[in-house]
């Protein structure tokens, strides 16, 4: 059970009780780290970036107007920090062209991804995720792992809701393609 | 797209999560404390700058009014050595009397304390 809301802690931090920031960090640091580590694919970098994210949050807390949930605002900072860190490293990832993706029928994708959760499947998923671009990984993780709504993802990624839906749809297709490739 | 009740969702949920080290919170809070100190110093410095600039502006404004517009029209009277000597002698006498008062009081208090002591011994 959560004793106090994020707003309560934010007000306390703004009033000078910086120790309240530890409560916000306790609440979100693990999930933010889990997202960043998947996006940047390096534990040490992810730890450092998670710390950067929380320091940015602390610095910019006065500019948080409360027009969206605190968690959405926090994830937006985490998403941008992780993606700019990856962009600096100029990593390469697999690209599947549109024609290949169009070859997969929507129903085939739905049926193809309708399988039992097994250890082997989880390993396959992790391998497939590694082959997505960092942006794609972030979006699909926000949707499935962090269970964010399309509206929230749109706010986090600064994309339109339609764009998010289209991207998620394509990422699912891409994952299906990768699953098929790895299984064959 | 907003259907998250599929097998993919289950698979993502079952995926193991990397854990943050236990020392993370402590390290983060140390950095936050440092950052808070920097912010405090920055805000103090900003306050000093604002106060200094405001004071300078006010002084400049007064000087501009005084020099250019001769406002307000007051005049500093010239010094009269006779008057200064008179007030100085009064000040000196007052200070002398205060000192004398202090010495006399101290002597009397000492005397009273000694007599009280001898009375108690008897």
State yes or no: pLDDT of A76 exceeds 70.
Answer: yes
State the burial class of residue B110 (Cβ atoms within 10 Å of its Cβ: 0-12, 13-18, 19+). Answer: exposed
CA atoms within 13 A on the CB side of A161: 7
Domain ranges of chain A: 6-89, 98-183
Confidence of residue B36 (pLDDT cuts 50, 70, 90): very high
Q: Are the beta carbons of B32 and A122 separated by less than 8 Å?
A: no
Three state DSSP letters for chain B: CCCCCCHHHHHHHHCCCCCCCCCHHHHHHHHHHHHHHHHHHHHHHHHHHHHHHHHHHHHHHHHHHHHHCCCCCCCCCCCCHHHHHHHHHHHHHHHHHHHHHHHHHHHHHHHHHHHHHHHHHC
Q: Are the beta carbons of B2 and A43 separated by less than 8 Å?
A: no
State yes or no: pLDDT of A152 exceeds 70.
Answer: yes
- Measured in angstroms, the CA of B2 and the nearest CA of chain A are apart by 7
Q: In terms of CATH architecture, what is A6-89?
A: Orthogonal Bundle (1.10)
Structure ipTM over 0.95, yes or no? no
pLDDT digits (tens, 9 = 90+) for B70-104: 777 666 677 788 888 899 999 999 999 999 999 99
Q: Are the beta carbons of B6 and A114 separated by less than 8 Å?
A: yes
A90: left (phi over 0), alpha (psi -120 to 50) or beta: left
Confidence of residue B113 (pLDDT cuts 50, 70, 90): confident
Mean pLDDT of chain A: 85
Most confident of A28-32, A174-178, B10-14: A28-32
In chain A, residues with a C-beta closer than 8 Å to the C-beta of B13 are 144-145
State yes or no: pLDDT of A124 exceeds 80.
Answer: yes
Give the CATH number of domain A98-183; options: 3.20.20.140, 3.30.420.10, 2.40.50.140, 1.10.10.10. Answer: 1.10.10.10
**Nearest of B7, B10, B20 to residue A145 by alpha carbon:** B10
- Whether the CB of A144 is below 8 Å from some CB of chain B: the reply is yes
Interface of B with A in 7-46 (CB under 8 A): 7-21, 24-25, 27-29, 31-33, 35-36, 39
Q: Are the beta carbons of A51 and B24 separated by less than 8 Å?
A: yes
Confidence of residue A125 (pLDDT cuts 50, 70, 90): confident
pLDDT digits (tens, 9 = 90+) for B13-35: 888 888 899 899 999 999 999 99
Q: Are the beta carbons of A125 and B15 separated by less than 8 Å?
A: yes
Q: Are the beta carbons of A51 and B28 separated by less than 8 Å?
A: yes
Q: Are the beta carbons of A116 and B15 separated by less than 8 Å?
A: no
- Measured in angstroms, the CA of B53 and the nearest CA of chain A are apart by 25
Nearest CA in chain B to A151: B2
């Amino acid at each position: 059970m959560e004793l106090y809301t994020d707003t309560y802690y934010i007000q306390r931090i703004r009033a000078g009780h910086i120790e309240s920031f530890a409560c916000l960090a306790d609440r979100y640091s693990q999930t933010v780290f889990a997202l960043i580590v998947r996006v940047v694919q390096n534990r040490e970098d992810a730890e450092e970036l998670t710390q950067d994210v929380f320091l940015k949050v602390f610095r910019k807390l006065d500019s948080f107007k409360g027009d969206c949930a605190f968690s959405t605002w926090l994830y937006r900072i985490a998403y941008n920090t992780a993606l700019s860190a990856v962009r600096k490293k100029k990593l390469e990832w697999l690209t599947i062209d549109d024609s290949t993706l169009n070859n997969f029928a929507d129903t085939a994708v739905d049926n193809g991804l309708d399988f039992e959760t097994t250890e082997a499947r989880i390993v396959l998923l992790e391998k497939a995720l590694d082959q997505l671009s960092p942006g794609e990984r972030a979006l699909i993780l926000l949707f499935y792992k962090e269970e964010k709504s399309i509206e929230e993802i749109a706010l986090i990624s600064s994309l339109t809701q339609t764009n998010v839906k289209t991207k998620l749809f394509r990422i699912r297709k891409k994952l299906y393609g990768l699953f098929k490739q790895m299984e064959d | 797209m907003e259907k998250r009740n599929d097998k993919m969702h289950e698979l993502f949920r079952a995926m193991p999560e990397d854990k943050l080290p236990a020392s993370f919170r402590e390290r983060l809070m140390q950095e936050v404390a440092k950052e808070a100190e920097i912010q405090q110093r920055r805000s103090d410095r900003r306050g000093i700058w604002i106060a200094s600039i405001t004071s300078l502006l006010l002084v400049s404004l007064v000087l501009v009014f005084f020099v250019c517009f001769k406002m307000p029209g007051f005049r500093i009277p010239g010094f009269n050595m006779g008057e200064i000597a008179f007030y100085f002698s009064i000040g000196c006498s007052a200070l002398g009397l205060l000192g004398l008062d202090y010495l006399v009081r101290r002597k009397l208090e000492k005397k009273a304390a000694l007599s009280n002591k001898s009375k108690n011994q008897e």
